[in-house]
Amino acid sequence: MELAPLYPILYRLLKPAFGSCLWAGSHNCPMIALTFDDGPNHKYTPQLLQVLDRYGIKASFFWLGACVNQAPEVAKEVYQEGHWLGLHGYDHRSFPLLKLDQLQQSLLRTQEVIARACQIDPDKVRDVRPPNGLFTPRTLSLLHQWQYRPVMWSVVPEDWECPGVSVVVDRILRQVENGSLIVLHDGHYGGQDVAQTAELIIPQLLQQGYDFVTVEQLWQFASTKD
């Protein structure tokens, strides 16, 4: 069952209710962020990097610790090319289903494998996107208590269902607006199309006047706009 038509509705409902999450940037500025979940993948992520490099785009990647362990050299390449890194849990289990210690260990373990692969301080990776977009008020409370920053989304074309590149591209172009935080996937599900999707949407969005920024840049703008 495809849920793509419901995500814009969920976004409008959840954003004001959970304002401590980063859902999008400013509606007054033509900045948008491309983000990618479930990687890194030894095949799909390098293909995507080639597209991003060709257009000079910096994106944000929310990684699974297990996938970093499987493709550490790819992880290192992503970091060295200047993309922003975030956490997606160790093995894609929904956060509300985990006990407190399991959730904390999932995040810490993922930080550790990223730090080892990219040769950075684990504390440099503090942004978290919950797998499947599922969280509770308690989840958010714990993330803030542990000094993580929850990151969500405003454009979800459901590419992991592999509806076809043209469908994914159309969904993005119909929903994108100033501040959009777009989520795609470069992992096992959806990754086979991600480079082609990026190749099609990036030039069109550039032509429409959008600037591509990282999640960190959206956070920085959010902290200064008031």
Residue pointed to by tokens 């949407």: 201
- Catalytic: which of 37, 38, 186, 193? 37
pLDDT computed for residue 225 by the predictor:
55
Told to judge if 185 belongs to the known catalytic residues of this protein, a careful annotator would answer: yes
Which residue type occupies 15? K
pLDDT computed for residue 223 by the predictor:
61
Tell me: pLDDT of 141 over 50: yes
- The pLDDT > 90 percentage for the chain reads 89
Measured between alpha carbons, how far is 130 from 84 in angstroms, rounded to an integer?
A: 17
- Catalytic: which of 38, 127, 185, 186? 185
Residue pLDDT, tens place only, 175-219: 999 999 999 999 999 999 999 999 999 999 999 999 999 999 999
- Band of residue 224 on the pLDDT scale cut at 50, 70, 90: low
Q: DSSP per residue over 85-112, as a string?
A: EEE--SS---GGGS-HHHHHHHHHHHHH
Told to judge if 159 belongs to the known catalytic residues of this protein, a careful annotator would answer: no
Q: Which two tokens stand for residue 69?
A: 């362990």
Indicate the range of 67-71, 108-112, 218-222 predicted with least confidence. Answer: 218-222
Which residue type occupies 100? L
Residue pLDDT, tens place only, 19-30: 999 999 999 999
pLDDT computed for residue 111 by the predictor:
98
Residue pLDDT, tens place only, 152-182: 999 999 999 999 999 999 999 999 999 999 9
- Give the residues across from 87 on adjacent strands: 63, 128
Phi, psi torsion values for 37, nearest 5 degrees: -110, 160
Q: Which two tokens stand for residue 197?
A: 């999707």
Every domain of the chain and the residues it spans: 29-224
User: Contact at 8 Å (CB) between 150 and 130?
Assistant: yes
pLDDT computed for residue 226 by the predictor:
41
pLDDT computed for residue 148 by the predictor:
98
Q: pTM of the prediction?
A: 0.95
Tell me what the mean pLDDT of segment 94-111 comes to: 97
* Fold annotation for 29-224: TIM Barrel (3.20.20)
